Amino acid sequence: MGILDSIAGQILGGGKTQNSLVNAIMSMLGNQQAGGLVGLVEQLNSKGLGDIVNSWVSTGKNLPITPEQIQEGLGEKTISKLASQAGISPEDVSSQLTKLLPQVVDKLTPDGKISQNDIMSKGMDLLKGLLK
């Protein structure tokens, strides 16, 4: 079992499709050309979800997000791409992202700040922390 399999198991309960979704999300957040974590936060902010996404970045409690808000915030194109990569329906992607995104963003911003230059080391720390 690989590192991403372990993350999926701990965050989402495991399974091949969840592992694929975790892979797709980590790829999306690590893609600097697409804006990475900063781009995700800005995109959700622009869709009126600033309070929610900022709670994930901050050191306080994470606010919940609904599947409908995920669909609105990420857009149909991104949801469809993630669904294709994970081999699941767009509805399932939106549902699973309600659990996954808050945890991943929270873990990638432990000090309440986004530092794009340090995203890879924080990602590795996230992986290590989830495997404990």
What CA–CA distance (Å, rounded) separates 121 from 67?
29
What pLDDT is stored for residue 53 in this prediction? 95
The secondary structure of residue 61, as a DSSP letter, is: P
Look at 84 and 124; give whichever has higher pLDDT: 84
pTM, to two decimals: 0.74
What pLDDT is stored for residue 1 in this prediction? 41
Fold of the domain built from segment(s) 3-130? Arc Repressor Mutant, subunit A (1.10.10)
Write down the mean pLDDT value for the chain: 79
CA R_g for the chain: 14
CB of 86 closer than 8 Å to CB of 21: yes
Residue 122's nearest CA partner among 54, 29, 41, 44 is 29
